Amino acid sequence: MSETELKHAKARAAQLRREIEEHNRRYYEDAAPTISDREYDALYRELVELEQKFPELALRDSPTQRVGGKPLEHFAQITHRTPMLSLENTYSEEEVVEWFQRLQKLLPGQEITVVVEPKVDGVAVSLLFENGALKYAATRGDGRVGDDVTQNVLTIRDVPRQLRGHAPRVLEVRGEVFMTKQGFKKLNEDRAAEGLPLFANPRNSAAGSLKQLDPETVRKRPLGLVLHGIGALEGLEIETYGEGLKLLDKVGLQRSEKTWTCKNVDEILAAIRELDKLRHDFAYETDGAVVKVDSFTQREKAGFTSKAPRWAIAYKYEPERVETKLLDILLQVGRTGTLTPVAALEPVFVSGSTVARATLHNEEEIARKDIRIGDIIVIEKAGEVIPAVVEVKRERRTGSERVFKMPERCPTCGGSVMRDPEQVAVRCINAACPAQLRRRLEHFASRGAMDIEGLGEAMVDQLVSRELAHDVSGIYKLDAEKLATIPRTGEKSITNLLAAIEQSKSRPLWRLLFGLGILHVGATASRTLAEHFHTLDNLMNASADELQRINEIGEVMAASIHRFFNDEQNDALIERLRESGLNFGEKDKYEPKTADEKFAGTTWVITGTLSQPREEIAELILARGGKVAASVSKKTSYVLAGDEAGGKLEKAKTLGVRILSESEFREMLNH
């Protein structure tokens, strides 16, 4: 071995450790992975092979020597009675055969029985029962210490506070908290209706749910629990995992609904293949099969590596990919007029459901992949919201395929479109576009803006299709007579909706600004503008230069605001809202904040999903003399990071800005 080879190996190992640690953090702590399991496993295996080839590189703190991620700081910590270890992964049936052959060498002359069961794509947890009563529930954490999530786990219907019958004195069980497929779909529909970001997949949403500080929030999430292992056990002797499964049934705990008992490799492979056919019928997502030795005595003899048991392996199924024909590329129009291309597919069955749409992102992505209408394409659905196009079968082209081009006219209204110089986007510039109108009305009425309960997607669709609202001011022209023309709209719902509309007239100015949907202006910037100008009239009269001088309002945003308020149609809209009696800031009070030395003069950025709306948290900060900004900079004092925190969190780490969890923030409020 040359010195140069060792030097290169050392550098590569260091790079792999950094990447793996970062992906561990994103997976275990943020519940927001950015690479697939297969890509992660490839990085991990490369590091293992380097450390085996160069033992001096196998550092004590290497991710190959540890499990999972560190516990979150805002939960109490629990030490597991027995360690929670990860399993070695494989995507190859040949490696399953090799694993079983290694077992035969470790257990010479013995008959080895194994159990095959679904690998649930959820969040690993450990539950401890003492004399039948649940003492605690904890996440995996780093394998030795996890987060105490007892109150959240108790909201899951599958979890009893007290076991049935005569339970062992101590029973430690392991399993996966999951979100049901149907529940996940409904959750995203509700989040979309409220204008909240969608969860990427059920696993991420389950992880995010367990991290909520308010159990009532968790109670509303469609979570379940499947148990698949036994840790500490006192007061009862069992010899096999099969007996353990019977124990779980006896005491009323949910376990894998389908298992296979196998005596040889052929039976193992047959079970893995059969599970692959059945797994889409389960209520939860599965991404593989777990194969484990049945006998606890044989498990003990087979032993462990530093991270994983030798007596078990996880076979991961490839993300399902299927071929279909791209029939057309359709365009969806958002509230700001952005035209988003969507693939219209020849319907095809993939990952348990029939799909007819796939994401294409934008025109640039279509050109990069050379996707053409009429192409035979490969789509992949690996637990994501909608499938993605991953490959084009160019060799199958017949010459009849058509290159996609963004239209010069909006597909909904026929109005002119323009390219946004700041983004890879094409926008319809017709303010009267029906598609934009629907999205604008939904946004205006959303909880984060004017908070008009009862004015959701279905009602908005009826208002637009029946021409009862031509812009957001039309909401305030509605009356009982007009609403009664909408089918299946009862007297009580009409009364409630009109009351909610009336209440919205007194919302603070910043909510109105946010509801107007000015390009580039979010909730935080709307609040900043309201605090600076106090009234809508003052803001409308501001020059672009004056706007740009405001902290947090950059050149692009300033130009967008100035352009919005100098548009004749928007001016007319503002006057109609004025006539309807909306608060333009005159009713808001901008009194000096109560001094709080911990908050006075501080600047905060709020990111991720928290236990209450960001707007309400911002109010708490502002009331104590702090400021809330839209983006992270060197001037930022704190970043309050919740679940699904992304780029802002990363920038805060890069700049060395202090990051607070929600529990730390609450403690700061209370003390």
Tokens of 55: 């033992």
C-alpha–C-alpha distance, residues 160 and 163, integer Å: 6
DSSP-derived secondary structure for 522-540:
-HHHHHHHHHHHSSHHHHH
Sign of the CA dihedral running 665, 667, 670, 671: negative
Sign of the CA dihedral running 619, 624, 625, 628: negative
Q: Which residue has the tokens 């019977």?
A: 246
C-alpha–C-alpha distance, residues 26 and 667, integer Å: 25
Of the chain, the end-to-end C-alpha distance in Å amounts to: 60
Of 162, 139, 166, 141, residue with least CA distance to 150? 139
Partners of residue 328 on adjacent β-strands: 344
C-alpha–C-alpha distance, residues 244 and 622, integer Å: 55
Q: How many CB atoms lie within 10 A of CB 459?
A: 20
Rg (CA), the chain: 29
Catalytic annotation on 263? no
Q: How many CB atoms lie within 10 A of CB 65?
A: 13
Tokens of 218: 């968790």
Tokens of 514: 């946010």
Measured CA angle at 281 (ends 277, 286), to 5 deg: 75
Tokens of 330: 């359709």
Instruction: Write down the H helix ranges in 199-341.
Output: 202-210, 215-219, 241-251, 265-278, 296-302
Please answer whether residues 338 and 361 qualify as being in contact, where contact means their C-beta atoms are separated by less than 8 angstroms.
Answer: no
Q: Which of 53, 70, 119, 635 is catalytic?
A: 119
- Pairing of the two strands 321-333 and 114-120: unpaired
Of 242, 234, 225, residue with least CA distance to 298? 242
Q: How many CB atoms lie within 10 A of CB 383?
A: 17
- The percent of the chain in helix, strand and coil, each rounded to the nearest 5, is 40, 20, 40
Of 588, 457, 436, residue with least CA distance to 517? 436
SS3 518: coil
β strands within 351-460, DSSP E: 353-359, 372-373, 376-380, 388-392, 402-403, 417-420, 425-428
Tokens of 650: 């990363």
Of 320, 328, 319, residue with least CA distance to 375? 328
Q: Read off φ and ψ for residue 128, nearest 5 degrees.
A: -115, 125
Please answer whether residues 620 and 613 qualify as being in contact, where contact means their C-beta atoms are separated by less than 8 angstroms.
Answer: no
Establish how many alpha carbons lie within 13 A of residue 370's alpha carbon, considering only the half-sphere containing its beta carbon: 5
Cα torsion for 187, 475, 614, 422, to the nearest 10°? 90
Of 52, 48, 203, residue with least CA distance to 121? 203
C-alpha–C-alpha distance, residues 357 and 381, integer Å: 11
Helix 555-565 to helix 568-579 angle (10° resolution) is 70
Active-site residue numbers?
A: 119
